[in-house]
Structure 1
Amino acid sequence: MTMRRSTTVLFSIALGLLARGAPAADAPAADEAAELAALLDTLEEVTEIATRNRMNTDYVPGMVTVLRGEELESRGIATVWQALGLVSGVEITRNNFGEPLVLMRGVGQTLHSGNLKVMLNSVPMNNDLNGYAPGVMQLPVAMVERIEVYRGPGSALYGEYAYAGVVNVVTRQEGQGVYLRFDSHDSAGGGGYASWRSPSGKLKLFGDLSRWSGDGSRIDSGPDAFTTTGYSYAPGPIDDREGDGVAILGAEFNGFRLLSQYTRMEHGPWFGRSALPPPDPLAIGVTRHHTLSLDKGWALADDLDLQTRLYHQAFSDDSPEVVLVPPGYPTRIPPSLPAPPPGAPVPLAPPEGVVNQRSSDLRRSGAEASLTWDGWTDHQWLFGLGYARSEVTGSSYAENGATILPYNARTAGLPEGADRKLVSATVQDQWRIGERLELTGGIHYDDYSDVGDSITPRLAAVWRHDDRHLFKGQYAEAFRPPTFGELFDGTRNGRRLRPETLRSLELSYIYRVSDTRFQLTVFNTELQDLISEVAGPDRYRNLGEIRQRGAEAEWERRFAANWRLGANLSFLDSVDRPTGKPVGGSARWLANVTLDGRLAPEWQLSARLNHVGDRAGWPGGGTAPLDDYTTVSLGLSRFDLGAKGGTLRFGVENLFDDEVQALATVDTYRGNLTQPGRSGWLQYSYAIP
């Protein structure tokens, strides 16, 4: 479906509602109520993600977006990963194994590991095995209070993995409620949240619990790397089974906060790396992540506060079984890899083919302390120290059900006992110069026992010209350390790789009145020392370099009594410097349009349009270019159904069933990866009074 047709449908709805407006008798009161609601929303929308001090999102340095859980539910958004696709300059996609990827300003598709710092209730969740935080990405939004998104480099404040941005997911910690949700492809889930406070108010207990799973769409894969050889299951149905479970328990008492957070993600092999899995399902993959943290804050003086944290993380990743070589294929070398030199031995494959599976376990423990001091007039200082140690506590590789140990050049596994120590320090100053100008300067230092040290600075300014016009500017740097998966995947296990680095300059203008907000941001970014996947015994090397220039425009308007229309449009020119060609999988244009409002006191309509522009394939022709696509989704909500606090929501995703494709790993699926199409959903939730 074309962008023009999809946009026409959505804007026809909006224009009709604008023409209809509110009932004439109630118009003045309704308009006043809408203006007051908009003002209160602006004043209440505060975040700590950009400075670690609570500030209005417009006034913080950098670009911050806050997504609210209830709005996401009404729009039919199922998971945190899907919600991030609403943010300007953000594209969501998947890789060959169906892992949810987030491309922020085009950064992510070319990176082997995570490009975002992901936090759950302000606790970091990235793991040192592969850099991802998949359990958080698949967290149901029915459990979410809000999602805070910081676009741009964040290492000056958050250190490792805050490369292209920072995401903090805050779950529901007040009230009580339950929900049930059903989606297409036999997907179903449910959960609940609860909180309790003692009569004195000193003790608070809260918890969130959810579980969902689906059998998958089983859409057709298209040809894989082996199809032309005659030894392949492709084309055929993919195995996109998946599910997620979350259990969060917290307690707060006299300034202490004890928090236990557990996520479990299940997923099939989807397309597989270069060969489609057989029709009979193989073993599903399971990723588990448990974090236990203890926070305590002290008011040491009127102008001096200390915040401390102790934490321990346990992460395990059992990959799904993956077909390395289909039955009957004569060698262990897929067609996508170069043949051995003449005269070199050719490794033969068993007649039944090769199915492999990897398992890894990681433990990480650490301590953090931060001191905030505002005793110097017009200044607020932040000093932070941190220590962490990560260790691979288990690792195995199996072929055709038999575990192979010890590791060798062919299996290239993670050695048990591999460890990493990290010492970090942060200094930041927020300097208010008069009533309208604020400068923020900071620097972060990280020293790794295995990959050396990194220094990342930031300098930002926010100028409030008046109550309507704001200007922002920022220069910032970021880094991402090599993960264990990159350091130990090759014949020279433990080889030295340099951290990836990023330098960014951005300028932003914000205009806002009671019912309208507009923001325009332009940026220039240089990415260097990208860890690239290459053929040969050493699978990863520091080779990549990317130059990016772009702009992001955001607009939101409230009208009538309870209606809101929003849109964002982003442009990105991303060039791979070694080849001079566009970066593979990076969309030049992205757009979102959202419409939310009350049709009646009990009914709410939500509509959204998402457009992803044309994307280049991999340089060198390893995959075909990807066409643009536009999806339109609708949702309806019926409030106080069955009982006060009961809400029925239902809708359809990708209403016109436009074809959505994701970029395949180079030289695997040359026609790329077709994603599931149109689907329906139904949800009932009950907030206990």
Structure 2
Amino acid sequence: MKTIIRIFILFGFVVINTTQIFAQQGNEPIIDSELDAEFEAELLWLQEEAVVMTEIATKTKMDADMVPGMVTVLRGDDLEIRGIRTVYEALSLVPGLHTYLDTLGDQRVSVRGLGGSFFSGNLKLLLDGIVLNDSLTAAGYVIYGIPVEQVDRIEIIRGPGSVVYGEYACAGVINVMTRKDVTRVYGRCVWDHWPPYGYGGGGAVTYTIPEEAFSLSLHLSGWKSDSPDIETGEDRLYEEFAGMQFDEFSNAPGSTNEAQENRLANLSLKYKGFSLSGQYLLNGRGDYFGMLHILPQAEERIITTHDHRALEAGQTLSLSDAFKLDFKLGWRRYEFYLDNLTAVPPIAISMPDGSVIDITPSQGSIITPYYEEREIYAGGELIWKGMNRHTLLLGMKYSDTDIRDVWVDTNTTEEQRGTMVRLRGEENWFAEGGKRDIFGVYLQDMFDMTDRFTLTLGVRYDRRYDEDENKNEVEDNITPRVSAVWALTDYHILKAQYSESVRPPSFTELYARGNSVIGGNPDLDPEHIRSYELGYIYRRSKTVGRITLFYSELEDNIEYPKYADSLGEGGKEVQYQNADGTIKTKGFELEFEHDLRVDLRFSGSLSFADAEDGQGKSLMGATEWLGNAELLYRPKQDYAFDLQYRYVGKRHRASEDERDDPAAYYSLDLSASIFNCFTKGLTLRGGCKNLSDSEIIFPAPAYKDADGNIGYTYADDFPRPGREWWMQLSYDFD
């Protein structure tokens, strides 16, 4: 409570002082007519330029600055000018969001210091409103590789969003909206040393018949790349195992396999109130630093594959201007696959008597796990504006998720060592027959108490039914939200919000078994987060500023053991667990945009998040400071030059890790765009990522052996690429 009081005091101080600062911008007296003219001009600008409409927070179209909580909207055209290439890169521009990779190269996002390791998914991820989160990991990795050339906008809620979006919306919600108003083709390549190591392209086709209320859009894209020039340090094999060294069998120091392959096919059809959507997304990657933190052989091939397919039909009934019904029926399939991953390289020890003991098969320890799930869901929403100053939202959703197939091929069985054998049943890496049903109902009331003050009340009830081969479990959860938005004047907006969210355990956290890397725990409790937010927004024709203060408490966080050693203790399973105590995170987020001249814009953000575990120690991998700054120069309509600065503070290690925290780093990105190059509609872009060639590393975990001694998986952490160049050519048809 003391912390909350201090936040309120700080918020009041900031609001008072910020208002005084901006009030000093004009010291000359303004007569009423001049004030009216200025107000009309400001209002026109807000309507045409600054006001971004969004439905992500309330399911009703609103000004993004007037919705409950803090919402960020990134526009696709702006992202292209800034040299952003994918959704993953775009998210690093959002205050409070930190992007990083895990040991297998899967892309991860931490929000306000929260973001667990090993498959913990705390974000609700959607493409055109269709959920991409799978039940295996809840991570939805396929969304991050979507190219911005296909993106109209990305809408992000920072903070819990469970009242409207249900499970997995624990730390935030991200909705990627594809372009529906352009027909285009494009191609792109990237290189550190010529020739390019990555290339891709795609296109979008749109067709509309306005008088028939008919629209059709199709998006296709693909990307393929080999590894950039990256050299690792010593890996896990350089540490001792039972008093023995195995560094001579290691591939480290050496190059990583960072091959990538992304595919997208997205179809959207609308006819009057009917809609039909089909999606296919594939995300393929190499094995990077190895599942067991042992550097694999540098093969330029895809090891990890995430495959998402979905089909959704919807019907909207507008019975009157005040009454609207939406119905949806959908099907989703997700596949996860590791293609002959070498977990441990070939290791053979020569004994004093001349004999040789094979620690692993001669090909190394190889695994090929496969997992497939299917979800069928249905839902409906009612929006009613029939009551004076009230907008009511009533929604229901039911989803049924089944594990359809799961198995593993391996060459490490006792009976057929060295031969690939498929394992099912008790020997499988995953409990079979898992099933999850979720029924949710939610109610939200937006009450415009005055023309300038809106109170939003929301509550959601979820019943989750989990079934596997051993037991059945029923879990009931209620999550509330209370928020207020107060437009003090046309330029000053205050916000306050309290919200809760619940994240159920993923199937991996419940059902993984029979291996030394991940062990499920059927007794896990769901995570529960409570969040408090205060916000202030200032916006005028040339200047926009936003301040957000937040404080969150996370209970029963599902985490991978901090010092887990999957190679120690005879291959004993490493089991997921609920963290002891309450994780707390508090901080602030600042955003600022200002038109320095008609052709020169500056924008930036600064975020601070102090995240501590139940023992009051900094969360492993969390960073306190994040910053962005952008300078956009458009000397003419057809030319744009953008300079982007990114700062990431030091990342915290585990409390008993004796290494220094990874140093803070910055990157400088430069991009240039030429529109209508040689002919109308042709755009040429190019630029450089990490122009300063800064050293960027992500922290690698420490571990404890059977005696409690600290060791290091990669003592020098996970290095990332240096300077990279890219080029893009696109053509928009009239």
After TM superposition, the score normalised by the length of structure 2 is 0.84
Report what 2:269 is aligned to.
251
Are positions 1:680 and 2:725 aligned together? Answer: yes
Q: Which of the numbers 384, 387, 392 marks the counterpart of 1:373?
A: 384
Report what 1:319 is aligned to.
338
Indicate conservation of the 8 Å contact 1:252/1:258, yes or no.
yes
Indicate conservation of the 8 Å contact 2:150/2:204, yes or no.
yes
Report what 2:127 is aligned to.
120
Report what 2:6 is aligned to.
none
Pair 364,330 (structure 1): closer, same or farther in 2 beyond 3 Å = farther
Are positions 1:402 and 2:439 aligned together? Answer: no
- Pairwise CA distance, 1:627: 0.9
Rounded to whole Å, the distance in 2 between the matches of 1:296 and 1:499 is: 33
Are positions 1:650 and 2:686 aligned together? Answer: yes
Identity, in percent, stands at: 35
Q: Secondary structure at the match of 2:557?
A: strand
Report what 1:15 is aligned to.
none
Are positions 1:453 and 2:453 aligned together? Answer: no
- Pairwise CA distance, 1:389: 0.5
Indicate conservation of the 8 Å contact 1:112/1:531, yes or no.
no
Q: Secondary structure at the match of 2:556?
A: strand
Are positions 1:307 and 2:334 aligned together? Answer: no
Unaligned runs of 5+ in 1: 1-30, 332-345
Task: Give the alignment of 1:540-619 within 5 angstroms.
Answer: 540-544=576-580, 545-578=582-615, 580-619=616-655
Rounded to whole Å, the distance in 1 between the matches of 2:284 and 2:721 is: 18
Report what 1:80 is aligned to.
87
Q: Which of the numbers 295, 319, 335 marks the counterpart of 2:314?
A: 295
Task: Give the alignment of 1:206-225 within 5 angstroms.
Answer: 206-225=217-236
Indicate conservation of the 8 Å contact 2:662/2:699, yes or no.
yes
Partner AA of 1:473 in structure 2? A
Rounded to whole Å, the distance in 1 between the matches of 2:445 and 2:498 is: 15
Deviates more, 1:72-81 or 1:448-457: 448-457
Task: Give the alignment of 1:622-641 within 5 angstroms.
Answer: 625-641=661-677
Q: Which of the numbers 434, 438, 455 marks the counterpart of 1:439?
A: 455
Are positions 1:49 and 2:68 aligned together? Answer: no
- Pairwise CA distance, 1:493: 6.1
Pair 303,418 (structure 1): closer, same or farther in 2 beyond 3 Å = same
- Pairwise CA distance, 1:264: 0.9
- 1:383-426 deviation line (CA, Å, top 9, x unaligned): 11110010111112122471331354xx6622342111111110
Are positions 1:271 and 2:289 aligned together? Answer: yes
Pair 177,170 (structure 1): closer, same or farther in 2 beyond 3 Å = same
Partner AA of 1:170 in structure 2? M
Rounded to whole Å, the distance in 2 between the matches of 1:430 and 1:619 is: 45
What is the alpha-carbon root mean square deviation over aligned residues? 2.3
Partner AA of 2:622 in structure 1? S
Higher relative contact order (CA 8 A, sep 6+): 1
Partner AA of 1:238 in structure 2? T
- Pairwise CA distance, 1:660: 1.1
Rounded to whole Å, the distance in 2 between the matches of 1:329 and 1:46 is: 63
Q: Which of the numbers 495, 499, 503 marks the counterpart of 1:476?
A: 499
Q: Which of the numbers 511, 515, 522 marks the counterpart of 2:549?
A: 522
- Pairwise CA distance, 1:42: 4.6
- 1:158-193 deviation line (CA, Å, top 9, x unaligned): 111111110000001112111111111511111111
Report what 1:20 is aligned to.
none
Pair 220,448 (structure 1): closer, same or farther in 2 beyond 3 Å = same
Partner AA of 2:314 in structure 1? D
- Pairwise CA distance, 1:347: 12
Q: Which of the numbers 252, 263, 268 marks the counterpart of 1:234?
A: 252
Indicate conservation of the 8 Å contact 2:91/2:99, yes or no.
yes
Deviates more, 1:304-313 or 1:396-405: 396-405
- Pairwise CA distance, 1:355: 2.1
Q: Secondary structure at the match of 1:487?
A: helix
Q: Secondary structure at the match of 1:582?
A: coil
Report what 2:364 is aligned to.
353
- 1:248-295 deviation line (CA, Å, top 9, x unaligned): 111111211100011011100011121111134565222210110011
Indicate conservation of the 8 Å contact 1:586/1:616, yes or no.
yes
- 1:81-137 deviation line (CA, Å, top 9, x unaligned): 100000111111111111111111111144632211011001111010111111111
Partner AA of 1:322 in structure 2? L
Report what 2:149 is aligned to.
142
Rounded to whole Å, the distance in 2 between the matches of 1:48 and 1:419 is: 32
Unaligned runs of 5+ in 2: 1-37, 240-244, 351-356, 412-418, 467-472, 565-571, 704-712
- Pairwise CA distance, 1:319: 2.2
Partner AA of 1:631 in structure 2? S
Report what 2:375 is aligned to.
364
Report what 2:22 is aligned to.
none
Task: Give the alignment of 1:128-167 within 5 angstroms.
Answer: 128-167=135-174
Pair 543,328 (structure 1): closer, same or farther in 2 beyond 3 Å = same
- Pairwise CA distance, 1:568: 0.4
Rounded to whole Å, the distance in 2 between the matches of 1:414 and 1:623 is: 35
Partner AA of 1:642 in structure 2? F
Structure ID, larger Rg:
2
Rounded to whole Å, the distance in 2 between the matches of 1:128 and 1:347 is: 38
